[in-house]
Amino acid sequence: MAYRETRRTQEKMAQKKEDIIKAARELFAEKGYQGTSIKALAQKAKIATGTVYLYFANKEELIQFVVDEMFQELLTVIKNERKKYTDGFDKLQASIDVCFQVFLKERTMAKILLVQVPGISTSFQKKLLKIENEFVRWTKKDLEELKLEGRLPEGDTLVSAIALVGSFRQVLLHYLMEGEPKDLETAFINLKKYNLRGLGHGHES
Amino acid sequence: MAYRETRRTQEKMAQKKEDIIKAARELFAEKGYQGTSIKALAQKAKIATGTVYLYFANKEELIQFVVDEMFQELLTVIKNERKKYTDGFDKLQASIDVCFQVFLKERTMAKILLVQVPGISTSFQKKLLKIENEFVRWTKKDLEELKLEGRLPEGDTLVSAIALVGSFRQVLLHYLMEGEPKDLETAFINLKKYNLRGLGHGHES
DNA sequence: GTATAATATGAACTCATATTCATTATATGG
DNA sequence: CCATATAATGAATATGAGTTCATATTATAC
């Protein structure tokens, strides 16, 4: 009997998997999925090319894993942040704030999710769409609650939700590609104001 | 002496080039750039694979041509529509209306420009960015004119312009991928209202 | 109809890269 | 230290797609 799985080896392998994922996130963000070869990936992760296949069945499974993990991270952070509030507007703002923060901090995540994923394949387009719709649905739900409370005027909540998500997406992407403005904080506040006005917030005043 | 270029052959070749471009637009929209092989493209255009290379130096040049042509088409339509108005708000609305119409009518154009192009390569990302910025700049200019006339409140016109473009992009894409709503006209009007409110239109009233 | 010059063809070629696998290195238990 | 089981290696292989080119087809001029 020899070489039973032990704590040490398990941790070592877990670390190696992490290394692969880290390299993948960076390279996919920088060069795109097609533009990233397994050889280059292995080189970046400081392992042999064949080793990648000990951890992932193939390249497709790797990008799937990376994308799924990213969304999971994002959803978890948002859910945790929303828990802190009960008021509808606060929850909505919390979602927006945290998305913005995460994407600005984790630029590789932003570039992969917002730029690279749609171009990978039609199946990824569909996957992305499903998850984007998840965000839109949440936003829509927030808006409908607020409408019921009489804090927002009548209006098409679906259109509003999509518009809101889209405006943030575009601004985020702009900063990501073109560089941040001098005063990011103020720009972000203006963007929020834009959307609050768009929603008709304060309509009764 | 024999076989000088003649009207008939020129037209025939022009037609063939059109066929290739048409097939490319459809396949790129449906399967993406990477997902479209020259073989499949030639098959769709009903020519031999080698023939493609009599009209385009390589695959890259073909997609470049397709994308450039699409933007040219879009810009031309927008410019013509804007000419019809002098009022700032009318011009802004004309741009938005025509973009929406064109993208909804020419779905392959919309899918290529809005979904496929960003993922092709970093050089395409940059190209797209340049052109998107062209739209943002126009919008920004419209907004600044309106601000000077006192018809819009103070505010960050760049952020507003990006937000406006982003909200329309997202709604368009939603309809494109998920299917149009029952009442497209009303949804579109609501979207415009959302953005007009966002801009602070009617703030003095 | 024939000669000629250009276009069209598609099998063959090239090249890149994802994946495999025989070999080597490493870890464990006794 | 040895036996063995697992992980790691990277050269070799398989695959697929972009591109080329010898050949065939088509169009023109006489």
What is d(CA A174, CA B181) in angstroms, rounded to the nearest whole number? 29
Average pLDDT over residues B163-191: 94
Instruction: Round to a whole number and report the distance in Å from the CA of A117 to the C1' of D20.
Output: 34
Determine the residue among B63, B162, B196 to mutate to test chain A binding: the one whose Cβ has the most chain A Cβ atoms within 10 Å: B162
User: From the Cβ of A9, is strand D under 7 Å away?
Assistant: yes
A190 closest CB neighbour out of B119, B156, B193:
B156
Query: With 70 as the cut, is the pLDDT of residue B159 above it?
Result: yes
Please give the pLDDT value at position B118: 84
Query: With 50 as the cut, is the pLDDT of residue B191 above it?
Result: yes
What is d(CA A118, CA B125) in angstroms, rounded to the nearest whole number? 13
Average pLDDT over residues B158-164: 96
Please give the pLDDT value at position B129: 83
Instruction: Please write down the HEC assignment for all residues of B2-24.
Output: CCCCCHHHHHHHHHHHHHHHHHH
Please give the pLDDT value at position A203: 67
Question: Using the CA of B48, which nucleotide's C1' is the nearest one?
Answer: C9
Please give the pLDDT value at position B158: 94
Average pLDDT over residues B99-125: 90
Please give the pLDDT value at position B1: 63
Q: Closest-CA residue in chain A for B113?
A: A119
CB contact under 8 A, B177 and A125: yes
Query: With 50 as the cut, is the pLDDT of residue B79 above it?
Result: yes
Residues (pLDDT < 70) of chain A are 1, 203-205
Task: Note if the pTM is more than 0.85.
Answer: yes
Give the percent of chain B with pLDDT over 70: 98
Q: Which chain B residues contact residue A193 at CB under 8 A?
A: 155
Please give the pLDDT value at position B203: 67
Average pLDDT over residues B1-30: 91
